[in-house]
Chain A
Amino acid sequence: DSGVTQTPKHLITATGQRVTLRCSPRSGDLSVYWYQQSLDQGLQFLIQYYNGEERAKGNILERFSAQQFPDLHSELNLSSLELGDSALYFCASSVVPQGVSTEAFFGQGTRLTVV
């Protein structure tokens, strides 16, 4: 158990809908990262937050947004869903954003299926 909790574990929804994925970081970790992993794309970095502020942005679509709340949990919002958004979405947390000498811990992921 990494200490990072992602909910829900599985989600099935229809095209055009909107969903929210939730991540609770490890106790004491201030930084949260979101990743998308589909079969043919590998682990794609989406966005990173540190203590409530956005710190880095990767290949995140405009239909997607995220935020980190004062209690440090984070939510990833996916809207106008398309079939191609079906993927595993992982959240990771670490103590500090740069994490040069600290490791990041990953949750078990949320499997999103868009039908």
Chain B
Amino acid sequence: DIQMTQSPSTLSASIGDRVTITCRASQSISRWLAWYQQKPGKAPKLLIYKASSLESGVPSRFSGSGSGTEFTLTINSLQPDDFATYYCQEYNSYSSYSFGQGTKLEIK
């Protein structure tokens, strides 16, 4: 099984800040990584797929990078709507997935 480790678990930031969340895989997953945003009581929403491709309709202030075992999600110029929990997910295998434990982005 591939283990996904996100850091930090919690992140406090202000409107307008630039923040970065890191996700590490226990083995190489090439670029088979996605990022999701989840708000309370809602399903996760796809933001980034294949490590750096922006899902249609997602604001360009969101960006992803990385390959192999280390990946980052960057949010430029934080907006009030961005305060949520973010998850990474590997899909190196076509049939099984693993998720990170989540990063809660809070208002400072």
Q: Real complex partners, A and B?
A: no
A-side interface residues toward B, CB under 8 Å?
none
B-side interface residues toward A, CB under 8 Å?
none
